Amino acid sequence: MDIRIQTSKARTFLPGDIWKTLQPAVDRCHRDILSRTGKGADFLGWVDLPSSTSDHFLEEINEGCKRLRELADVIIVIGIGGSYLGARAVIEALTPPFSATVKGQKIPQIIYAGHHMDGDYHARLLQYLEGQEYALIVISKSGTTTEPALAFRLLKTHLEKKYGIKGSRRRIIAITDRARGALKTMADREQYKSYVIPDDVGGRYSVLTPVGLLPLALAGVDVKQLIQGARKAEQELKRTAEIEKNPACEYAAIRYALYESGKFVEVLANYHPGLHYLIEWWKQLYGESEGKEFKGIFPAGVNFTTDLHSLGQYIQEGRRMLFETVLTIETPETQLVIPRDEENLDGMNFLAGKSMHEINALASVGTTLAHLDGGVPVLELILPRLHADTLGQLIYFFEFACALNGYMLGVNPFDQPGVEAYKKNMFALLGKPGFEEETNQILQRLQQ
Ligand code: PA5
């Protein structure tokens, strides 16, 4: 694996023999993942996904994209949670922010929908689509989630008006369960081109299935390289559970030790705006996997140096219940050098000749030292370059460590029972059939 982890700046906050203490628990949890004997073992399909995804399947994905690209300049990706964040994380990290071409090839504009229920957003999206050639990718494992189902209904109606019922069918791709759910029923009836989300892979572990791969390939991401990177990580992280030889075990062990010592908030920090959505994906992965039974680290995220002018104050001097993990990219894709200015009115000539990357990297070093001085343990995750290959490694690394952490905490990292609470209230308030009793109860409660 090319990704490295540095935990020395956090271990100084913990007893010297912490690895020795935690190794038996890590061994047990590593074994539970590989032998599929832990909680939620039916959802461990992601563990073998990279090695079991064939090149033939990836070619099929690329072929499917070619067809869609010929039809559409704009692709709407409809989904929420694990059916949304993985694709967005990788697209934002790897595709250029100000250009519609990747490696000389024109790529469609990717727009997201169904990841919230804001009417204005969706109304404006429909207006925008009036003048566009577009297609839809609708993603939902359960096929019944309210947010994407509503967005799909709105967009499908618009699409059918524009292209007719028959014409619209070839512009819709469904990614859903093999056999169950309303989306599967619709896809079968309307004969949409469909892709299957494997039964044993849950939403937040699904970025390396068609859920992530299809939107990524459409956006010009090299999905073969992404899977290749994930395969490297799979090989290495399965090989041994020894904390010092397995970066995922090291990350899981240090997180667990810090949590046990009272650090119950982890702040994942980046210095590269393209990684903003990777942090959003990580927050969802860890928040939904660990936060249950009144346990778990609260996953938070910051974009530096932007947030050094806001949340940086809290990290430096607020309550000491947090630790920080810094994502670093060693080598940038470009070199942008600060020019000398004869008048030097801004006083910045001391930086002339230095690259933006160098300055950003030194800001990171300075910040880490300041946070350490402020009592914040700091972990570092270092990526040599920001490529599909390294991102594939990082995704698998985070998934593996997350499952380990869930097992170390004693929870099932693959379910999300808490998500049902808001849905129950919302359905009761909206008068969904079957929720009559809950509706009466909630209305009485609101009158009190
Ligand atoms: O990680 C998860 O399982 C969830 O975040 C789901 O991905 C999310 O709720 C969307 O579910 P679905 O794909 O069934 O619409």
Are 56 and 115 found together in one domain?
Answer: yes
Residue 414 inside a domain? The answer is no
pLDDT recorded at residue 272: 95
Collapse the DSSP code of 61 into the 3-class scheme (helix H, G, I; strand E, B; otherwise coil) and give the result.
helix
Residue 71 inside a domain? The answer is yes
Q: Is 288 close to ligand 1, i.e. is its CB under 6 Å away?
A: yes
Residue 188 inside a domain? The answer is yes
pLDDT recorded at residue 248: 98
Collapse the DSSP code of 258 into the 3-class scheme (helix H, G, I; strand E, B; otherwise coil) and give the result.
helix
152 Cβ contact list (under 8 Å, min separation 6): 78, 114, 136, 138, 183
Query: Among 181, 200, 203, which residue's Cα sits nearest to residue 84?
Result: 203
Q: Whose CA is nearest to atom 3 of ligand 1?
A: 203
From 42, 43, 77, 83, mutation site for ligand 1 pocket: most ligand atoms within 8 A of C-beta: 83
Are 21 and 114 found together in one domain?
Answer: no
Q: Is 280 close to ligand 1, i.e. is its CB under 6 Å away?
A: no
Enter the tokens of residue 210: 């068609």
Q: Is 202 close to ligand 1, i.e. is its CB under 6 Å away?
A: yes
Q: How remote is the CA of residue 415 from the centroid of ligand 1, in Å?
A: 10
Structural contact between residues 359 and 337, judged by C-beta atoms closer than 8 angstroms: no
Q: Is 115 close to ligand 1, i.e. is its CB under 6 Å away?
A: no
Distance CA 47, CA 414 (A): 12
pLDDT recorded at residue 356: 97
Are 242 and 380 found together in one domain?
Answer: yes
Residue 417 inside a domain? The answer is no
Distance CA 168, CA 161 (A): 9
Residue 387 inside a domain? The answer is yes
Looking from the CA of residue 181, the nearest atom of ligand 1 is 14
Collapse the DSSP code of 176 into the 3-class scheme (helix H, G, I; strand E, B; otherwise coil) and give the result.
strand
Residue 415 inside a domain? The answer is no
126 Cβ contact list (under 8 Å, min separation 6): 154, 155, 158
Q: Based on the structure, what is the number of domains in the chain?
A: 3
**CATH code of the domain in which 242 resides:** 3.40.50.10490
Q: How far is CA 120 from CA 88, 107, 116, 199, in A?
A: 21, 27, 11, 35
List per-residue pLDDT tens for the chain, 448 residues long. 999 999 999 999 999 999 999 999 999 999 999 999 999 999 999 999 999 999 999 999 999 999 899 999 999 999 999 999 999 999 999 998 887 788 888 899 999 999 999 999 999 999 999 999 999 999 999 999 999 999 999 999 999 999 999 999 999 999 999 999 999 999 999 999 999 999 999 999 999 999 999 999 999 999 999 999 999 999 999 999 999 999 999 999 999 999 999 999 999 999 999 999 999 999 999 999 999 999 999 999 999 999 999 999 999 999 999 999 999 999 999 999 999 999 999 999 999 999 999 999 999 999 999 999 999 999 999 999 999 999 999 999 999 999 999 999 999 999 999 998 999 999 999 999 999 999 999 999 999 8
Q: How far is CA 447 from CA 422, 427, 431, in A?
A: 19, 18, 17
Q: How far is CA 389 from CA 51, 210, 362, 414, in A?
A: 14, 17, 26, 26
Are 261 and 382 found together in one domain?
Answer: yes
Are 92 and 32 found together in one domain?
Answer: no
pLDDT recorded at residue 105: 81
| Helix or strand run (H / E) with residue 79 | none
pLDDT recorded at residue 101: 82
Confirm whether 358 is a catalytic residue: no
Are 253 and 141 found together in one domain?
Answer: no
Looking from the CA of residue 147, the nearest atom of ligand 1 is 15
Given phi > 0 = left and psi -120 to 50 = alpha, else beta, which region is 265?
Answer: beta
pLDDT recorded at residue 98: 84
The verdict on pTM exceeding 0.75 is yes
Are 232 and 103 found together in one domain?
Answer: no
DSSP 144: -
Residue 418 inside a domain? The answer is no
Are 29 and 52 found together in one domain?
Answer: no
From 46, 77, 78, 80, mutation site for ligand 1 pocket: most ligand atoms within 8 A of C-beta: 80
pLDDT recorded at residue 399: 98
Q: Is 141 close to ligand 1, i.e. is its CB under 6 Å away?
A: yes
Confirm whether 288 is a catalytic residue: yes
Instruction: Tell me which of 92, 250, 288, 399 is the catalytic residue.
Output: 288
Are 54 and 18 found together in one domain?
Answer: no
Q: Whose CA is nearest to atom 12 of ligand 1?
A: 140
Q: How remote is the CA of residue 84 from the centroid of ligand 1, in Å?
A: 9
Are 16 and 33 found together in one domain?
Answer: yes
Query: Which residue, chain included where needed, has tokens 């919302």?
Result: 426
Residue 12 inside a domain? The answer is yes
| Helix or strand run (H / E) with residue 195 | strand 193-196
Q: How remote is the CA of residue 80 from the centroid of ligand 1, in Å?
A: 6
pLDDT recorded at residue 194: 96
Are 193 and 234 found together in one domain?
Answer: no
Domain that holds residue 430: 423-448
Peptide bond connecting 305 to the previous residue in cis, omega within 30 degrees of 0: yes
Instruction: Tell me which of 130, 309, 342, 343 is the catalytic residue.
Output: 309
Q: Whose CA is nearest to atom 9 of ligand 1?
A: 81
Distance CA 229, CA 233 (A): 7
Q: Is 289 close to ligand 1, i.e. is its CB under 6 Å away?
A: no
Are 251 and 153 found together in one domain?
Answer: no
Structural contact between residues 426 and 310, judged by C-beta atoms closer than 8 angstroms: no
Q: How remote is the CA of residue 82 from the centroid of ligand 1, in Å?
A: 5
Instruction: Give the type of residue at 447.
Output: Q
Q: How remote is the CA of residue 206 from the centroid of ligand 1, in Å?
A: 10
pLDDT recorded at residue 245: 97
